[in-house]
Structure formats: C-alpha cells, structure tokens
Structure 1
Amino acid sequence: MNWRLRPASADDSALLSLVAGATFLEAFAGVLDRADIVAHVARNSSADAFARYMGEGAVATLAEAEHGAAPLGYTLLTAPDLPVEPRAGDVELKRIYALAPTHGQGLGPALMERAVSDGRAAGHRRLLLGVYGGNVRAHRFYTKQGLSVIGERRFLVGATWHDDLVFARDL
C-alpha cells in the first residue's frame, strides 16, 4: 500500500480520531479489557480531544493512503506530561501509531523521522515518549529509532493501571 505524510490540523480531528481508535484497538485487543479500551478511546481519541490538542499547540502528522486518502497512521507532539526530570526544549511524542496493514512498509520509521524533524523545527532538543511496559515490539522499534529508557510511569487506561516505560532521544 502506498502512503504519504502531511501535516494535520484541527480540521483533521475526525480523521485523527478514526485512525487513533482503530490503531489503539489493534495494539491493545487481547491486552486490555474491552471497557478500558472503549473508555480510553472515548476520552483521549475523540475528535474533540484532537481538536483540543491542536488548540493547545500540538503538532500532528497524518499518514494517508495515496489512493483515496484514508488515514493509516499519525503522530502527535505535545508539551511533556511524563514523570521525568524536565529539560528545557523537551517535547513529548504523545502518539505514534500505524495501522497493521502498513507494518513492514516503512511507515513507522517515516512517522518517527517526521516527528523528530517536527520537533527540531520547533526548537525542541529532546523527544520523550511513554509506552506500555508489556509492548516488547514497540520497545524494539523505539530502541532501533535511537530512543532509550529513562524512567517509568503508572498509566491509567480506563479503570486499570498499567506500568509504562519512558523513552527519550536527543534531537
């Protein structure tokens, strides 16, 4: 499947929401309880949530199918909200997801490269990322992309607490 990346705006909130819910379900079906998935997506991945992120200065990239422009993945850079010692110039990669049919086609690395580029362009010097502690596949990907573990956090998904790792990379 051929894809392209483009900057996303608040006008793309419904597209971001659609791919966010789908990719979250793909990533956590069989890991999280159904009710927790639904509650988490409703609270954090609605079109209103993305419009709010964008209104607060978030920077998003949308991956789209070349034919038909269906959303396939996205990134979301925000002000950091992680339990690590903050540094001037930090930015959080709050979300980076790609739909399963695109895995192995270079979309994940392209999204990471764009997030790094967007962070640098905005004057940031370090990229932070929280990731589910049990997602070994994601850990390998982030390590391959130059990030390393700098801490841990407890993260509430729906009604269940989970242990996450906090990764970082200098920009």
Structure 2
Amino acid sequence: MSWRVRQAGAADAAALSLVASATFLETFAGVLAGNDIVAHCAANNDPRKFIAWANDPLGAVTVAEVENGFAPVGYAVLTDPDLPVQPGPADIELKRIYTLSLMHGTGLGPALMEAAVEDAARLGRTRILLGVYGKNLRAHSFYKRQGFQVIGERQFLVGSTLHDDVVFARDI
C-alpha cells in the first residue's frame, strides 16, 4: 500500500482526531481499561486540539495518508516540551506519533519520524523528547532504532488510571 506524508493544517483537524482515537484504541485495547481509553480519547483527541497544534508556529503536525483516496493512517505532533525532565532551550517534544497497524512494516513509521526530525530542525530545535508507555516494548524498540535513549520516567494519566512511562531523547 502506497502512502504519503505531508504537513497538516487546521483543515485536517477532523481527520487527525479520528486517526488519533483509532490508533490509540488499536494500540492499547487489551492493555489499558476500555473505559479509560474512551475517556482519554474523548478528552485528548478533540479536533480543536489539532487546530491549535497545527496553528502553533513553534510546533508542527504531520499527517500520513494512503495515496488511493487519501484516508488518514498516521500522524505526528511536535510541541513545546511538557515532560518531567529539565528541557533545554532548543528542545521540542514529539507529543504523538502513531500509525494504524495496517501500515506497520511499510516504512511509514520511520518516514513520520524523519518528517518530525526535519520539522524540529526547521524550527531551530536540537533535541527531540518523547514520553511512551513503559510497557509498550514495540514502541521502545522503534524509538531506539531511531536513535533515542532513555533519559527519565513519568506517570501518565489515561482516563482515571496512572501509568508508568519512559521519557526518551534524541539529538538532531
């Protein structure tokens, strides 16, 4: 299946909201409590959030689409850091990076990461930070292959349950 990666804008907010909830549910169904997943998605994937991120001159949003019909199948969001580590003045947070599982193994994940790195460099940033669920070993492996190293931990609220996360960083 062929795909494309492009800069997202405010007009993509509804599609980004949909793929955000779909990828979160797909990633964590059977891992996290269903009611917590639904509450998390309702609170964190509102299209208005994606509009704000897309309009933020200090961040970037990327959408991945299949070329046949341009349905959204992944996305990435860069924002100012909001992690429990001391950020440097040129740090940026990869707040989200997800693809639907049907895209796993197609090279889309690395392409989204490459776009995030290019956007971070364009924004004058020199290091990317990210937080990931502590038990998501597939994601840990992906981030390590992309040059990230563990620099800390945090607790992350999903619905009403706190989970242990790992904080990674990578120089650009």
Fold shared, TM-score > 0.5 on shorter chain: yes
Equivalent residue pairs, number: 171
Question: Counterpart of 1:117 in structure 2: which amino acid?
Answer: E
Whole-angstrom CA distance in 2 between matches of 1:54 and 1:113: 18
Deviation by residue 1:4-56 (Cα, 9 ceiling, x = unmatched): 01100111100100110100001100011111101111111121221232344
Counterpart CA distance in 2 for 1:14 and 1:41 is: 13
The aligned counterpart of 2:63 is 62
Q: Name the structure 2 match of 1:7.
A: 7
List alignment gaps of at least 5 residues for structure 1. none
What amino acid does structure 1 have at the position aligned with 2:48?
D
Asked if structure 2 preserves the Cα contact closer than 8 Å seen for 1:43 and 1:49, the reply is: no
Structure 2: how far apart are the matches of 1:147 and 1:169? 5
Distance in 1 (alpha carbons) for counterparts of 2:30 and 2:84 = 27
Shift of residue 166, structure 1, vs aligned partner: 0.2
Deviates more, 1:56-65 or 1:117-126: 56-65
The secondary structure found in structure 2 opposite 1:83 is coil
* TM norm structure 1: 0.98
Runs (4 or more) in structure 1 with deviation over 2 Å come to 52-58
Stretches of structure 2 that go unaligned for 5 or more consecutive residues are: none
State the distance in 1 between where 2:35 and 2:48 align: 20
Deviation at 1:120, TM superposition (A): 0.4
> What do the CA deviations read for 1:72-102 (whole angstroms, capped 9, x no partner)?
1000000000000110100000000000001
Distance 2:52 2:9 in 1: 11
Instruction: Check if 1:39 corresponds to 2:47.
Output: no
1:26 and 1:100 in contact (8 A); partners too: yes
TM-score (normalised: structure 2): 0.97
Q: What's the counterpart of residue 30 of structure 1? A: 30
CA RMSD of aligned residues (A): 0.8
Distance 1:53 1:19 in 2: 15
